[in-house]
A and B are shown apart, each in its own frame.
Chain A
Amino acid sequence: MFLLWILVLPLLPIVLINIFNKCSIVKKTTPLIGSLFTLIIILLYSASNNLLEVSSYFEIINLYPIFTSLDINMSFSITKISVVLLILANITITTALFSTYKIKKRLSQINTLILIISIGIYGLIIADDLFVFFLFYEVAVVPMFLMITNWGYDLKREVSGPFKKILSSLSVGTKSYGAYKITLYLLAGSLLIFLGLAIVGISEGTFSINEILNKESLNMSNDLWLAFFLLVLGFGSHSALWPLHTWAPDGHGTAPTAGSIIFAGILMKIGVIGFIKVIITIFNTAFIEYSSLFIILASINIIYGAFTAMMQDDLKYLAAYASLSHIGYIFLALAMNNETGLSSAILQTVSHGLIICLLFFSVGLIFNLKGTRSIKELNSLSDNSPLISSIFIFAAFASVGFPLTSGFIAEFLIISSVAQSGNFLLIIIPLVGIFITTIYMFRTVKKICLRYVQSKESISTISYDEKLICFILILTIITIGIFPNFFLNFINGESIKIILGV
């Protein structure tokens, strides 16, 4: 029950940083202390409920009714998976808060936005009621518009092809374009989700995911099929499922570092969470029936994202397409519909969240230092700023799934789950994806870190707070990579439950 305090806790630093907005220490430290307390609450909650011991856990909290006539309640449900995701969200938010340290322009306001987004994300993860789910979604997405328009970057993007006129008339690449695109895209997506959820809620007479699950089995009427496809489109666009992914590169490219971190780290995962929470659980039969569609889309995501990433010049675009490719692995694992698949999808969600945080954070560091994110212009980082380059190289190794990082365990399990499902030929797809990832990641490393160009730059280093957060991220990635059993034991019970539909 007291876990719900994490939804209220961020309000305190919001008030504090806006009152004392002249004092830089308050502006910088209170949000961090706030998120530290959030983490403590989550850990205390896990400890008090013995989450490490029990195989699965479920708590439903019904606060108050919103609309009694439609049976919509302010209700939350907490499982072990949501605890894992809460911790991931917390790490992501903390990284985002650290990344704003160098921002001089209206620091208190960007931190306020991040904290508001954090409320949205926490609520979203534990929401049980479909209406509440949608409510928190909007809380998480809308502040992003302000973030990009105020702290974003204008980019140049050349256009050609049959849609040249359309693209150039919309002035692609500018930050207002990015902000509108990301907001409209995601709001359109969440509108579809809302419609879908409303159809489900009204036809089942309840809006609680838990109660819908408890019913015997869903009779797939025409309405429900419509709802299924609406939800797939909505969640798909949120998690950048091909071809609904184009918001991701533009949004990431124009957003400030904090925005990119939050987006790639956790908001893109919301679509995945939605898939796990709503589509796989409620529409299990429909999902299995259409699993080949999801396999095809996931494969396109993996290969297409990797190939596109290879030709990007902007590091953020590269990271955005890389995460597109990595999201593909999650969907591939989900489509296998076996226990390993679900566990590995959750593991990949967490692992990719951490790795992409690190990648975007290091890109932010490079940008702060050099003032550019262009791969062509950057060089000799390993000589001039060894620490940043080491962090970037580590992130590259983690994202190609190198052993002893969490990426390896996730990819190993995903490929195992594909093999378990009997499609031996299908394991080629993730393997090819990993190989192309190796090519573009190490091409980039070669160009920006190792390539040496004579210059008079002195060796630069990074500040202690930046070191701290990178250290935490690297440590988490390696810990999951070396002791995967701890993590897997934590979520396995839940994933069996979801697969069996208990």
Chain B
Amino acid sequence: MSQNIIFLSLVPILSIIVSRIFNSSKTLNYISPIIIYSITLIALFLNIDFSQLSIPFLTVNGYEINLLFNFIQEHILMSKVVLFISILVLYYSSKFVEPEDKRAHARYFLFLTIFISSMFLFTLSNDLFGSFIFWEILGLSSYFLIGFWNKDSEAIRSSTIAFWITRFGDLFFLAGLILIFTISGTLSIDIINKEVINKDYNINLPLLLIIIGVFSKSAQFPFNIWLPKAMKGPTPVSSLIHSATMVVAGVLLLFKLYPSISGNELALNFLIVIGIISSVGGAIVAFFEEDLKKVLAYSTISNIGLMFLAIGIKKPDLAYFHMFSHSFFKSLLFLYAGVVIALMGTSKLELLKSSIKLKSTMGLILIIACCSLSSIYFFTGSFSKEYIVFSLINKKLYIASFAMLIGTIFTCLYSARIFFNLINFDLSNDLEHKINPKFLIPLVLLALLSLVGPLTMGLFNESIYIEEVPHSVVGILMLQTLTIFVFYLYNNKRFNIVTNLNQFSIFSSFLFKTDSIYTEIYEKVFKGTSEFIAWFDRNIIDGLINYIPFKIIYYSRKLMRIQDGQAKSYAVRAIVFFIVLILAMTIIDNILIIGELK
């Protein structure tokens, strides 16, 4: 049964390739993946007793590397989320990429299904080797999907940069993986966890390498530059890949590896520091960003930072919980942004002013989405975030808590900014927006899921035990009052607040947006070095090597001058030659005779 579900998840990729070969209609490109993923999702919900699956892949030096797929509840829960959001995004995309030509349409769905299938397998995978393979394939599909509109030169530039940076991190992952394999002789996460807890060996350094790899894929500081650039891709892709699934894959990986990390103080502190920087920095930069999608991208960075922070303070269950709820409201926001951009034809926040009427479905959804984003109590995002913040305070990490507070304020600020920029309070005109149901249905479903905040807790108690975090009602109330106050403040003084904080904006951008450093590294280190080496190779080394034939030709030309074609000089040379020859012969003869006599 386990094998069947693995193979079933690969069928959509094949179906698209086959339908492309037979040049069939566009509809088939999304119908068959939706159906098959739905079947997979239903199979997961039916609670069939899946057994662990082990596929032998490679034998190195007598040690076996198997692809392990483990169907434990913690994995299946994330698989369900991935499949659910994927189905909605596929449905949404069917409308979104309709105008593209047949080839581009097939290409879009091909890479989307490759992505979904490998993400699905990644969530189930229980060994580092398999995780790495799917991890890389996630990067591949992200590369092709960001650069989907390749007529926009900015898009292909962004996709290449995103691929470079994520692959840079992937190599850290690979290094860590190989070191772990060399030290322990296995790549099964369960066995590694067990043996590390028993202190059979020490894998602190490889784990640190893996964490760096995870940071690059999750766009954490200082790798954060690629995610805002990735927003050049189609919006459904941003919704699925760059907010809900791929960028949080690292959190899932660290969650699986948590028992090994838990004893590693250095790694935990590293996670806390980078988590705080990304979380706070992302929130601050998001507030000053002009582009709606980029605001959401920085918000994603900020939220993922929060998840890493949760792992760093030894609360992996909270990280998982936040990853779970974040997936819903962030993909909702992105899909929503896609609709808004399609309606208005731009993604600049200034130009989107008052575009959504309050008294419409879209208006309601916007309220839910922004409330979730700023984690107002009761909405899905709020529980997990609150728990993380209170755990941090309980840990008595005061500087971190203070930074987190600033981060929270800015989270409220950018949520408020999105909300008040988009919404139109004019109640008189109650015309509904004309929105295609293919866009609306996924939005409504996700909005409902963002509303069921308290219920998700119930869902969790079955599979993952979430520790109750001791916090007072006063604390929550203070947090909520703060949020509402910030909203109110923003609404009243919205024209001043951005300009007043201008200095702050420049400072935070300088620290957080490290694009220029990357450009510098690329231009100076890579281009500069390679230019020099290429010149050196072509001119110095090749010149040195060519020196030998050059000299040979040079001397042979000199020798050729002897043959000047004049009979007189030939005769003179012949005579000289014979005299020399006779002399030489005589000398040799004498030496030989003397030799014989002796």
Binding site for B on A (CB under 8 A): 157, 159-164, 166-167, 169-170, 172, 180, 184, 243, 246, 250, 304, 307-312, 338-340, 382-383, 386, 397, 400, 402-404, 409, 412-413, 415-416, 419-420, 424, 427-428, 431, 434-436, 438-440, 442-443, 445-446, 450-452, 484-485, 488-489, 492
The reply to whether B57 and A484 contact each other, CB–CB distance below 8 Å, is yes
Q: Does B39 contact A (CB under 8 A)?
A: no
Contact of A416 with B178 in the complex, beta carbons under 8 Å: yes
Instruction: Identify B60's interface contact among A159, A382, A402, A416, CB under 8 A.
Output: A416
Out of B132, B137, B179, B531, which one reaches A311, CB within 8 Å? B531
Of the A-B pairs whose beta carbons lie under 8 Å apart in the complex, a sample of 14, sorted by A's number, is: A166-B546, A170-B546, A170-B550, A243-B541, A250-B542, A311-B527, A403-B132, A404-B133, A412-B58, A415-B178, A438-B168, A446-B160, A451-B156, A484-B58
Are B163 and A167 in touch, CB under 8 angstroms? no
| Residue in B163, B164, B527, B537 whose beta carbon sits within 8 Å of that of A246 in the complex | B537
Instruction: Assess whether B150 is in contact with A383, with CB atoms less than 8 Å apart.
Output: yes
Quote the shortest CB–CB distance from B587 to chain A (angstroms): 32
Cross-chain contact A386 with B547 (CB below 8 angstroms): no
| Residue contact B547 to A310, C-beta cutoff 8 Å | no
Contact at B167–A435, with CB atoms within 8 Å? yes
Identify A169's interface contact among B137, B175, B550, CB under 8 A: B550
B598 within 8 A of A: no
Contact residues in B for A419 (Cβ distance below 8 Å): 178-179, 181-182
> Chain A residues near B151 (CB, 8 Å)?
452
Interface residues on B, range: 35 or more
* A446-B156, A485-B59 given; A439·B533 CB < 8 A: no
Question: Does B529 lie within 8 Å of A246, measured CB to CB?
Answer: no
Q: Is the CB of B175 within 8 A of A161?
A: no
Instruction: Tell me whether B538 and A443 are in contact (CB under 8 A).
Output: no
Q: Assuming the A-B contacts A307-B534, A340-B60, A443-B160, are A163 and B526 also in contact, with contact meaning beta carbons closer than 8 angstroms in the complex?
A: no
A488: which B residues are within 8 A, CB to CB? 58-59
Residues in A with CB closer than 8 Å to B56 are 485
On whether the beta carbons of B550 and A308 are closer than 8 Å, the reply is no
Asked if B61 and A308 sit within 8 Å, CB to CB, the answer is no
Nearest first, the 7 closest Cβ-Cβ pairs linking A and B are A163-B543, A161-B539, A311-B534, A310-B530, A419-B182, A307-B530, A403-B133
Give the secondary structure class of B's interface: helix
Tell me whether B80 is interfacial, beta carbon within 8 Å. no
A307-B546 contact, Cβ under 8 Å, with A420-B182, A452-B150, A485-B58: no
Q: Does B544 contact A (CB under 8 A)?
A: yes
Asked whether, in the complex, the Cβ of B160 is within 8 Å of the Cβ of A442, the reply is yes
Q: Give chain B nearest CB distance to A451 CB in angstroms.
A: 7
Complex Cα–Cα for A328 and B107 (A):
36
- Bound CA span A288–B179, Å: 24
Q: Determine which of B133, B160, B535, B547 lies in contact with A161 in the assembled complex, contact meaning CB atoms within 8 Å.
A: B535
Distance between Cα atoms of A110 and B344 in the complex (Å): 62
- B18 on interface, CB distance cutoff 8 Å: no
Which chain B positions have C-beta within 8 A of A428?
175
Tell me if A485 and B61 are in contact (CB < 8 A). Answer: no
- B518-554: which residues lie under 8 A (CB-CB) from chain A? 526-527, 529-531, 533-535, 537-547, 549-550, 553
Q: Which residue of A lies closest to B534 (CB)?
A: A311
**Nearest chain B CB to A15 CB, angstrom units:** 37
Picked from A159, A309, A403, A439, the residue with its CB within 8 Å of the CB of B164 is A439
**Which chain B residues lie closer than 8 Å to A157 at the CB level?**
538
> Which of A166, A382, A428 has the most B CB atoms < 10 Å from its CB?
A166
A383 and chain B: residue at smallest CB distance: B150
Query: Complex formed: what's the CA distance from A446 to B163 in Å?
Result: 11
Beyond A442-B163, A451-B153, 13 extra complex contacts between A and B, CB < 8 Å: A159-B538, A166-B550, A307-B533, A307-B534, A311-B534, A386-B103, A404-B133, A416-B60, A419-B181, A438-B167, A438-B168, A451-B150, A485-B56
